């Protein structure tokens, strides 16, 4: 019974995280705006405890700052900061997959990441739920790559580099269907090539592939910002300052 209650609570929190993230990226809140549990109860039709957990999750992701006096404040991000964070993440991830290739002891260690490579495919037609599943699987794929490096310190640094949401591997698309589909295809092929390079103990090749892979996030963002039509539909645009 207790396990069932906990599972239902986790699912409710996950739904609230998705709903809040969507509202934030769609510009329903302004950068610097204070968000509180009580203030969101009516909007989200949920109780304060799961809302607090969802806000804490989004703060951990880097979308919100914790206010010492209570509540959370929506962050804003400079475009230069996002570019730097993506570049830093690419360097660190490249190092991680090179370590993985150098430290691989058996092919069995790749079983989980190979499974995630197959699962990280976009469902057509694209739906909100399917898109969320894709992003979550993509996130798990990258974290599994980091674990293969067998370096706790490097894993921590990668987690820190991804605190800016637009720099994280799972932030490589922005809700534009044509970009989502084409990017997902390219990303899936790069995933396969990175895992193959690790399996063949080709550290330098794996590192180069991972650094190129990270730039998908930057290219998508800059393409969308250059396009007036896409920028009008770009979730998260209101969070980007100093363009």
Instruction: Check residue 21 and give its pLDDT.
Output: 85
Instruction: Check residue 218 and give its pLDDT.
Output: 81
The H-or-E segment that residue 154 falls in is helix 152-161
Residue 120 CB neighbour total at 10 angstroms: 22
The residue whose two tokens read 């959370």 is: 72
Q: What is the pLDDT along the chain (243 residues), one digit of tens a residue?
A: 545 555 667 788 889 988 898 888 778 898 899 999 999 999 999 999 999 999 998 998 778 999 999 899 998 888 888 888 899 999 999 999 999 999 999 999 999 999 999 987 776 666 667 777 877 888 899 999 999 999 999 999 998 888 776 788 876 544 445 555 666 778 889 999 999 999 999 999 999 999 999 888 787 777 766 765 555 555 567 777 754
CB neighbour list of residue 224: distance below 8 Å, 6 or more residues apart: 174, 176, 179, 230, 231, 234
- Number of alpha helices (DSSP H) and beta strands (DSSP E) in the chain: 10, 5
Instruction: Check residue 72 and give its pLDDT.
Output: 96
Instruction: Check residue 88 and give its pLDDT.
Output: 93
Q: Decide: pTM greater than 0.75.
A: no
Where along the chain do its domains lie?
A: 2-74, 78-241
Domain 78-241 in CATH: superfamily? GntR ligand-binding domain-like (1.20.120.530)
Cis peptide preceding 72, ω within 30 of 0:
no
CATH for 2-74? Answer: 1.10.10.10
Instruction: Region of 89 please: left (phi>0), alpha (psi -120 to 50) or beta.
Output: alpha
């Amino acid at each position: 019974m207790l396990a069932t209650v906990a599972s239902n609570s986790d699912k409710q929190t996950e739904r609230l995280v998705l709903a809040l993230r969507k509202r934030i990226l769609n510009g329903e809140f302004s950068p610097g705006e204070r968000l509180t549990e009580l203030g969101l109860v009516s909007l989200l039709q949920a109780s304060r405890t799961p809302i607090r957990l969802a806000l804490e999750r989004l703060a951990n992701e880097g979308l919100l700052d914790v206010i010492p006096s209570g509540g959370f404040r929506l962050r804003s991000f400079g475009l230069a900061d996002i570019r730097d964070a993506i570049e830093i993440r690419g360097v660190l991830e490249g190092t991680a997959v090179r370590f993985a290739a150098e430290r691989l002891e058996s092919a069995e260690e790749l079983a989980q990441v190979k499974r995630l490579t197959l699962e990280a495919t976009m469902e057509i037609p694209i739906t909100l739920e399917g898109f969320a599943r894709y992003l979550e699987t993509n996130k798990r794929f990258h974290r599994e790559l980091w674990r293969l490096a067998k370096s706790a310190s490097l894993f921590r640094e990668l987690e820190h580099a991804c605190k800016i949401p637009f720099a994280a591997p799972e932030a490589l698309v922005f809700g534009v269907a044509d970009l989502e589909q084409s990017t997902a295809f390219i990303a899936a092929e790069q995933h396969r090539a990175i895992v193959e390079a690790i399996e063949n103990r080709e550290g330098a090749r794996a590192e180069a592939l991972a650094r190129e892979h990270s730039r998908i996030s930057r290219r998508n963002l800059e393409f969308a910002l250059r396009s007036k039509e896409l920028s009008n539909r770009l979730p998260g645009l209101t969070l980007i300052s100093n363009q």
